[in-house]
Chain A
């Protein structure tokens, strides 16, 4: 057994003397070679050799002991979304592995790079229903970008190198390596680490087809009412500057999807908001009026399009996307550009003519005015009733200058967080979009805070979501992570209640929560906490929270039956967006 932790893992030269290490130690050495310095995980029987190896490397690699394996995956997602590179989580076999499933599914939907390493029963026990054996490869096949079971120690370095390459390249996503216990114990010769740079049949960097870029430029140069929808791909590829240059040169208004928030400055004159179910009025209504729709790094999620059979039918659609399976999947494109967003936009820029579309942009501003009068004004500046969720976001925005990392959970509060915060810094919106995982936020905030220790991380959580992963307060306290936790408490599963009100004639079925004392529970975890019920108390309460050097929970009792508008009702077309309840 080696555990020669002084062997510099960054030394690319192979050791002079053959170094014999266990498979478990090889795992840790590989992670160090990949630059990993934090692991989110939970030990158990089938992964004990790896945890034993980790014990000898604690000066080089930090392990965050979460309270549930789902928390490990969400924390890893939080870290990955802020750093834009793969994070790592560990779990044991059986229930440990199955507890990862929700987080892995969340990561594949939102293109979060992640390498999950699970322990597995010994090879001779596979398929025998032995203790804590489960077919994690079969279970995670449809929700991982790649998964693989290692049964021999010698396979470990190549498998882990391949895992990181796949997780980080192309459209990022989660991968899972399942390592049998015998492979962890088995001794192998450590020959150094070779980074993976290619995989047969996998092409994450497609060659840009310039003729498709030329066709797109021709269409955009002739457009009278063009619109750009900027998605998560812009942030993943670091294409923010290229997008701004394209928009400015061609004078095209830009909206950013839910996951694309921060990809284009909300203060820019060409920014027109967010499309989709609870997005802004203009980009929804005018999706039915644009003549060219240029989609960059997004996938036409049904929450964006509404009824897709009636989505932007009049428009020529140009789709720039790195995942070939997304092209022509939901909408039919006039031009498909298979490329990384940054590469595609940079190739397009010189081909564009300088244009202005002032009267077209004015239509968005007219929509903005209507939305402000009917929705935003009352939401941000209420004078009576309980505090409103939009109002809380206004405080958070002002006190953090729109520069914090916002980690919302899933539901009404998430939509308010999306709408009423200025995402002035890219990669500052860490949210569960595609899967819509309640309970995501608290553990994801752990990863986000560790990825950006010098930045303020605010997690916005509903009272329903909070109770799904509340145990991660223990992780936050143990590591003294200065996460600011704001509970929007309406004693309801608010989004479901809103739908029951609007579409099920007020039949509130199983949505009312009688909650425990969140403040006392939080204090029990050693974290300061307070509860606010009155509008007049908000300003000072937020000041106390942000002034506190450490984790802090602020519970605000908000209006019980508030609704989030605008709204594209389920089954409606995007242009049928409504600003208030319809009779």
Chain B
């Protein structure tokens, strides 16, 4: 188990916060930090720090990539 950070470039929409968090809560993932910044009128950037093993972190990234209004994710 280690701390990962995922950056999510997405549509600038408040609805998406709920969608992201469902992906984490369904898998009982511990989120340690969450931040959002508006990039422009259309785009927003979320940063979520969480605790998970490598396999689960990759799984989370794949699930986030499936969310239609997410444009890009970067996992560290």
Which of A's residues lie within 8 Å of B, judged by CB? 137-138, 141-142, 145-146, 149, 166, 199-202, 323-325, 328-329
The answer to whether A141 touches B19 (Cβ under 8 A) is yes
Q: 3 closest pairs, A vs B, by CB?
A: A201-B71, A325-B62, A146-B68
The answer to whether A201 touches B72 (Cβ under 8 A) is yes
Nearest-Cβ distance from residue B69 to partner chain A, whole angstroms: 7
Main secondary structure of the interface of B (DSSP, over half): helix
CA distance A199 to B65 in the complex (A): 13
CA distance A149 to B15 in the complex (A): 10
For the complex, is B63 an interface residue (Cβ under 8 Å from A)?
yes
For the complex, is B70 an interface residue (Cβ under 8 Å from A)?
yes
Q: Among A141, A202, A325, which residue has its beta carbon within 8 angstroms of that of B63?
A: A325
CA distance A328 to B69 in the complex (A): 24
The answer to whether B71 touches A325 (Cβ under 8 A) is no
The answer to whether A142 touches B26 (Cβ under 8 A) is yes
CA distance A137 to B18 in the complex (A): 10
The answer to whether A141 touches B66 (Cβ under 8 A) is no
Chain B interface bracket (under 10, 10 to 19, 20 to 34, 35 or more)? 10 to 19
| A199 in contact with B68 given A141-B19, A141-B22, A325-B59 (CB within 8 Å) | yes
| A138 in contact with B68 given A324-B62, A325-B62, A329-B59 (CB within 8 Å) | no
A-B contact count (CB 8 A): 34
CA distance A458 to B63 in the complex (A): 37
The answer to whether A166 touches B68 (Cβ under 8 A) is yes
Which of B's residues lie within 8 Å of A, judged by CB? 10, 15, 18-19, 22, 26, 58-59, 62-63, 65-66, 68-72
CA distance A471 to B8 in the complex (A): 46
Chain B residues in 8 Å Cβ range of A324? 62, 65
16 contacting pairs across A/B (C-beta < 8 A): A137-B15, A138-B18, A141-B15, A141-B18, A142-B19, A145-B68, A146-B68, A149-B15, A166-B68, A201-B70, A202-B68, A324-B65, A325-B59, A325-B63, A325-B66, A328-B58
The answer to whether A201 touches B19 (Cβ under 8 A) is no
The answer to whether B26 touches A201 (Cβ under 8 A) is no
Chain A residues in 8 Å Cβ range of B63? 325
Chain A residues in 8 Å Cβ range of B10? 201
Among residues of A, the one whose C-beta sits closest to the C-beta of B25 is A142
Nearest-Cβ distance from residue A234 to partner chain B, whole angstroms: 21
Chain A residues in 8 Å Cβ range of B19? 141-142
Chain B residues in 8 Å Cβ range of A166? 68
Nearest-Cβ distance from residue A326 to partner chain B, whole angstroms: 9
- Give the most central of A137, A149, A325: most B CB within 10 Å: A325
The answer to whether B66 touches A201 (Cβ under 8 A) is no
CA distance A155 to B71 in the complex (A): 21
Chain B residues in 8 Å Cβ range of A149? 15
Chain B residues in 8 Å Cβ range of A146? 68-69
Chain B residues in 8 Å Cβ range of A329? 59, 62
CA distance A329 to B65 in the complex (A): 14
CA distance A146 to B58 in the complex (A): 22
Chain A residues in 8 Å Cβ range of B58? 328
CA distance A28 to B49 in the complex (A): 44
CA distance A141 to B67 in the complex (A): 10
CA distance A169 to B59 in the complex (A): 22
Q: Among A137, A142, A201, A328, which residue has its beta carbon within 8 angstroms of that of B68?
A: A201
Chain B residues in 8 Å Cβ range of A138? 18
Among residues of B, the one whose C-beta sits closest to the C-beta of A171 is B66
Q: Identify 20 new A-B residue pairs, CB closer than 8 A, beyond the known A138-B18, A201-B72.
A: A141-B15, A141-B18, A141-B19, A142-B19, A142-B22, A142-B26, A145-B68, A149-B15, A199-B68, A201-B10, A201-B68, A201-B69, A201-B70, A202-B68, A323-B66, A324-B62, A324-B65, A325-B59, A328-B58, A329-B59
CA distance A201 to B69 in the complex (A): 7
The answer to whether B71 touches A200 (Cβ under 8 A) is yes
CA distance A201 to B62 in the complex (A): 13
CA distance A324 to B62 in the complex (A): 7
Among residues of B, the one whose C-beta sits closest to the C-beta of A135 is B18
Chain A residues in 8 Å Cβ range of B65? 324-325
CA distance A161 to B53 in the complex (A): 39
Nearest-Cβ distance from residue B13 to partner chain A, whole angstroms: 9
Among residues of B, the one whose C-beta sits closest to the C-beta of A166 is B68
Nearest-Cβ distance from residue B47 to partner chain A, whole angstroms: 17
CA distance A166 to B69 in the complex (A): 11
CA distance A139 to B69 in the complex (A): 17
Nearest-Cβ distance from residue B8 to partner chain A, whole angstroms: 10
Chain A residues in 8 Å Cβ range of B71? 200-201
Among residues of B, the one whose C-beta sits closest to the C-beta of A325 is B62
Chain A residues in 8 Å Cβ range of B66? 323, 325
Nearest-Cβ distance from residue B9 to partner chain A, whole angstroms: 8
CA distance A306 to B46 in the complex (A): 38
Nearest-Cβ distance from residue B51 to partner chain A, whole angstroms: 20
CA distance A575 to B15 in the complex (A): 45
